[in-house]
Amino acid sequence: MARIPVKLVSWDEIVEWSRGLAELIQKSGWNPDIIVAVSRGGFVPARLLCDFLDVTDLLAVQSQHWVEAAKAAEKAILKYPYQIDAEGKRVLVVDDIVDTGDTIELAREFIKRSWKPAEVRTATLQWISSVAKLKPDYYYLEVKEWTWFQYPWTRLEDVTQFIRRILKEDKRAREGLTRESLEKLFEEWYGVRVSDLGFYWDLAIEKLSRDELIEVSGGIIRPLKGS
């Protein structure tokens, strides 16, 4: 059993789920005038929904809760708030997933209060019903047990943070690890085979080395002090 269950998501799945989500919205009889992506995770689903729902107005707000992969900040924050005149418009706020629900709720309430649209609804690809404080108006998949959905647009970022977390928190990594040992620990921690990551694994190792967070010498990977 992985310490942190991770689901690697493919681009094909993103398109399939976004299309399914669009069909649910269409069947409800409600048509948005504006789609707002919750940055950063909502960008791709929001753009796909624009395509499937024939919506041309796409905006974004940045509501942030996760400071790193599978680690949440104490509270969500809204960065770079701005105002538009959305009076009389129907606004659909889109994110990739609702886990705590804090980010999409913060974005929704800001839009309601500041943009003054006729109506605001929310949509996500996944809804983790066991932990979420908010149920989106539209969702494609209900997830009953918490899982970290590793989307393709954050693969390098997440893999880098996953490796760094192992090196910081696993006692077996203190004296350094061979690549093979690190790969085994990665699968133990996250339930993901390194072979399924393709070139992202090597890119993550290169990035950690370049940022002076690890040292790779004699086939051994060691965390550097302060990393």
- Residues 94 and 39: their CA atoms lie apart, in Å, by 9
Question: What average pLDDT does the segment 136-155 reach?
Answer: 96
Residue 99 predicted with pLDDT over 90: no
Q: Residue 8 has which token pair?
A: 């690697």
CATH number for the domain running over 6-150: 3.40.50.2020
- Residue 195 CB partners (closer than 8 Å, separation 6+): none
Q: Residue 60 has which token pair?
A: 């974004």
Contact 117, 111 (CB under 8 A): yes
- Residues 227 and 211: their CA atoms lie apart, in Å, by 9
What is the per-residue pLDDT for 101?
Answer: 87
List Cα–Cα distances, 10 to 23, 24, 195, in angstroms. 20, 21, 15
Share of the chain above pLDDT 90, in %: 77
Domain locations along the chain: 6-150, 152-223
Residue 63 predicted with pLDDT over 50: yes
- Residues 38 and 124: their CA atoms lie apart, in Å, by 10
Residue 69 predicted with pLDDT over 70: no
- Residue 223 CB partners (closer than 8 Å, separation 6+): 164, 167, 168, 173, 174, 213, 214
Question: What average pLDDT does the segment 81-91 reach?
Answer: 94
Q: Do strands 57-68 and 71-79 pair parallel, antiparallel, or not at all (unpaired)?
A: antiparallel
- CATH of 152-223 given 1.10.10, 3.30.70, 3.30.230, 3.40.50: 1.10.10
Residue 66 predicted with pLDDT over 60: no
What is the per-residue pLDDT for 226?
Answer: 59
pLDDT digits (tens, 9 = 90+) for 198-222: 999 999 999 999 999 999 988 899 9
> Which of the pair, 175 or 85, is modelled with greater confidence?
85
Please report the sign of the dihedral spanned by the C-alpha atoms of residue 122, residue 123, residue 126, residue 129: positive
Residue found under tokens 């681009």: 11
Residue 73 predicted with pLDDT over 50: no
